[in-house]
Amino acid sequence: MIGLIGGSGVYEALDLDEEREEHVGTPFGAPSGPITVGEVYGREVAFLPRHGPNHEHSPTDVPYRANIYALKDLGVERVLATNAVGSLREDLPPRTLVVPDQLFDRTRHREYSFFRDGMVVHMGFAEPYCPHMSTHLADAAESADERTGADEGVERGGTYVCIEGPQYSTRAESEFYRAQGWDIVGMTAIPEAKLAREAELCYATVAGITDYDVWKEDSEVSLEEVLENAAANEERINATIGNAIETMPDERACDCEHALDGAINTPSEAIPDETRERVGLLADEYLD
Active centre residues (catalytic): 211, 213
Nearest to 40 by CA among 9, 75, 14: 14
Cβ-in-10-Å burial (0-12, 13-18, 19+) of 224 comes to exposed
Secondary structure class of 284 (helix, strand, coil): helix
- With a CB cutoff of 8 Å and minimum separation 6, the contacts of 90 are 216
Dihedral sign from CA coordinates of 193, 195, 198, 201: negative
Q: φ, ψ for residue 153 (rounded to 5)?
A: -95, 180
Cα within 13 Å of Cα(13), Cβ side: 17
- With a CB cutoff of 8 Å and minimum separation 6, the contacts of 72 are 199, 201, 281, 282
User: Can you state the angle between helices 223-246 and 131-148, rounded to 10 degrees?
Assistant: 100
DSSP 268: G
Question: Which DSSP string do the residues of 236-269 spell out, in sequence order?
Answer: HHHHHHHHHHHT--SS--SSGGGTTTTTB-S-GG
What's at 223, amino acid-wise? Answer: L
